[in-house]
Structure 1
Amino acid sequence: MKRFYLLLMLLLTPVAHNADAGQKVERIVSLGPINTENVYLLGAEDRLVGNTVYCVRPEAAKQIAKVGSVLQASLEKIINLDPDLILTTGLSQSAQLRQLKQLGYNVAHFDQPRSFEESCNHLIELGRLIGREEKARSIVSQLKERVRAITNAVGSYPPPRVAIQIGAEPLYLVGEDSFLNDFITLGGGINILEGKESGRVSYELVVQEDPEVIIIAIMGSETGVAAQEMKTWQKIEPISAVQDNRIHIINPDIACSPSPATFVSTLEIISHYLHPKAQLEVSP
């Protein structure tokens, strides 16, 4: 349950960032998983000297010195690593951020992106700050080309009604205010909460909206929570997704906190779930 509320905080936090791009960056501390992934994506992992216990992608990120969690980082450990750039998130403590800035540290603040486009902009901004803007723009261009290929492949098919579940007990679905909605719209589907915000809903409402595809992306997949939710859905026979066996579980750690690259990889998978007959290339 704690991880679920952490996820909700990530998904519903607004966006802002600031830092000095004129300073040469050689030692980076990242206080969030997306920031860490983006550092690796830009090929600057040799500059990463610290991150959090939640920074587990790519695998090599697990070996970097830990300064605490996303919610509770150690100021002392950060200072001891002597960073010239600190990448913070919307979950970083505001008082701690003020302290770091008062101490003269260069802080770049990146909150949870609201869309794939915003996620790409964050990567470009990070590239600008560490002298890898050209590479960032090249990566974004390639990723957007993959997205265009997906939208072209699914464009001729009728859009299915889709529900993305990110919480259980109570049931919590993705609305138009979440970047996860991009998985549906770019993947060629229609969100059953179209025009509504993410939030708690009743199973009766889901039956009424009758999704043709249900995607489960809730924390606890590794402990069987997602599998249990699938069994719960399978008992609700009036839903088309149940009748047609179109309920799918995806990795919540990746789907709910993606870099631009992992967003596109996840989009390829979800697009296949939405349009199994479309000619889609799914990257390994």
Structure 2
Amino acid sequence: MKTIIKSIIHGCFLVFFVTGLVVQASIYAVDDKGTEFEFAQPVKRIISLAPHATELLFAAGATDQIVGTVSYSDYPEAAKKIPLIGGYNKVDIERIMSKKPELIVAWSSGNSTEQIEKLRHLGFRVFISEPEKFTDVARSIRNMGRFLGTEKIAQAVSSRFLSELKALKHEYPRKEKVRVFYQVWNAPLMTLSDKHLVGQVIEFCSGENVFGDLDIISPRVSIEAVIEKNPDVIIAGMTKDRRGWLKEWEKWRVLKAVANQHVYPIDAELVVRQTPRILQGTRKMCEYLDIVRKTHR
């Protein structure tokens, strides 16, 4: 009798297994706004609405799942081959619809709020990516690995990032404060507050963001306001088309940073994008602040 029962149970299991009716556990992931998402299986079609989100998805193990992205999504090299659906501040809704994404990864402080809401209204699932701390970068990679079905890869990348962060902390211990003005744009003159991860980069290097306490992530500031703050150093986020920014500061020798020749370029991608590469930008920031300390302190 026991043998018969065992045979029946074994047979039922085989039927469920062969016919694909074995119940698969749901996948759960949480975005940077705390919204929990449930997926029946790994996501196969994703659209990224921000360069940093594209880079994070690749870091988490994405390969061909990204079917659309925005301009300036240029890292890693494979990202350049993905079809564009607009810019981060204005996307083509019809083109997005034609891609039939299962998930859209958006950037709350960079994308149009109106367009994000429209995408939600159209029934698309929108996962927000907005890392504000170093640890958020690691957490974002792990969460993306969950819905991509690449948890092992994502966990390894996340752990390596945190290990490198720890090593960098030992290399650059707490030092005397250096007052920093970070330039994100020249006309109008714009900076980043401590609501952006760049504030943590500056603080990590024992710096003080002179406009860190502003409520807006990327506020406009006047040259008069910069003169009033009189920073020790000016760090300008550079790309190939921004080389003239440094020369523009030469006429403002009333500024301590200009008078002491402490106006430096930094690769904007390595500081502004909330990805594992931000540790490269952090190291460069710390090097600049150390130069300031050694020469005029």
Give the aligned partner of residue 272 of structure 1: 287
Give the aligned partner of residue 267 of structure 2: 251
Rounded to whole Å, the distance in 1 between the matches of 2:99 and 2:224 is 52
Give the letter for the 1:115 counterpart: K
Rounded to whole Å, the distance in 2 between the matches of 1:173 and 1:67 is 28
Rounded to whole Å, the distance in 1 between the matches of 2:220 and 2:160 is 36
Rounded to whole Å, the distance in 2 between the matches of 1:78 and 1:173 is 31
* One of 152, 158, 176 as aligned partner of 1:140: 158
2:47 partner SS = strand
User: 1:130 and 2:145 equivalent?
Assistant: no
Rounded to whole Å, the distance in 1 between the matches of 2:129 and 2:262 is 33
Report the alpha carbon displacement of residue 17 of structure 1 after superposing the two structures with TM: 4.5
Give the aligned partner of residue 91 of structure 2: 73
Comparing 180-189 with 241-250, greater Cα deviation is found at 241-250
Report the alpha carbon displacement of residue 43 of structure 1 after superposing the two structures with TM: 2.3
Report the alpha carbon displacement of residue 252 of structure 1 after superposing the two structures with TM: 2.9
Rounded to whole Å, the distance in 1 between the matches of 2:281 and 2:64 is 27
User: 1:151 and 2:169 equivalent?
Assistant: yes
Equivalent runs, 1:1-284 vs 2, <5 Å: 15=33, 17-90=35-108, 91=111, 93-101=115-123, 105=124, 107-155=125-173, 157-197=175-215, 199-217=219-237, 221-223=239-241, 226-256=242-272, 258-276=273-291
Contact 2:227 2:255 (C-alpha < 8 Å) held by counterparts: yes
Give the aligned partner of residue 4 of structure 1: none
Give the unaligned 5+ runs of structure 2.
1-31
Q: Which has the higher contact order (CA 8 A, sep 6+)?
A: 1
Rounded to whole Å, the distance in 2 between the matches of 1:34 and 1:131 is 20
Report the alpha carbon displacement of residue 142 of structure 1 after superposing the two structures with TM: 1.7
Rounded to whole Å, the distance in 2 between the matches of 1:152 and 1:52 is 37
Of Structure 1 and Structure 2, which has the larger fraction of its residues in strand?
Answer: 2
2:86 partner SS = coil
TM-score (norm 2): 0.74
Give the unaligned 5+ runs of structure 1.
1-13, 279-284
Contact 1:28 1:87 (C-alpha < 8 Å) held by counterparts: yes
Contact 2:107 2:129 (C-alpha < 8 Å) held by counterparts: yes
2:44 partner SS = coil
Comparing 183-192 with 169-178, greater Cα deviation is found at 169-178
Report the alpha carbon displacement of residue 83 of structure 1 after superposing the two structures with TM: 3.2
Report the alpha carbon displacement of residue 243 of structure 1 after superposing the two structures with TM: 3.0
Contact 1:16 1:109 (C-alpha < 8 Å) held by counterparts: no
TM-score (norm 1): 0.77
Give the letter for the 1:67 counterpart: I
Rounded to whole Å, the distance in 2 between the matches of 1:170 and 1:51 is 27
Report the alpha carbon displacement of residue 16 of structure 1 after superposing the two structures with TM: 5.5
Contact 1:124 1:133 (C-alpha < 8 Å) held by counterparts: yes
Q: Deviations over 1:175-201 (max 9, x none)?
A: 222221111001221222354445333
Structure 1 residues 83 and 112: CA distance shift in structure 2, 3 A: same
Structure 1 residues 195 and 54: CA distance shift in structure 2, 3 A: closer
Comparing 262-271 with 68-77, greater Cα deviation is found at 68-77
Contact 2:232 2:262 (C-alpha < 8 Å) held by counterparts: yes
Rounded to whole Å, the distance in 1 between the matches of 2:48 and 2:133 is 21
Rounded to whole Å, the distance in 2 between the matches of 1:71 and 1:192 is 27
Report the alpha carbon displacement of residue 228 of structure 1 after superposing the two structures with TM: 3.2
Rounded to whole Å, the distance in 2 between the matches of 1:260 and 1:181 is 15
Identity of aligned residues (%): 26
**Number of aligned residue pairs:** 256
Larger radius of gyration: 2
Report the alpha carbon displacement of residue 212 of structure 1 after superposing the two structures with TM: 1.9
Report the alpha carbon displacement of residue 112 of structure 1 after superposing the two structures with TM: 3.0
Contact 1:16 1:111 (C-alpha < 8 Å) held by counterparts: no
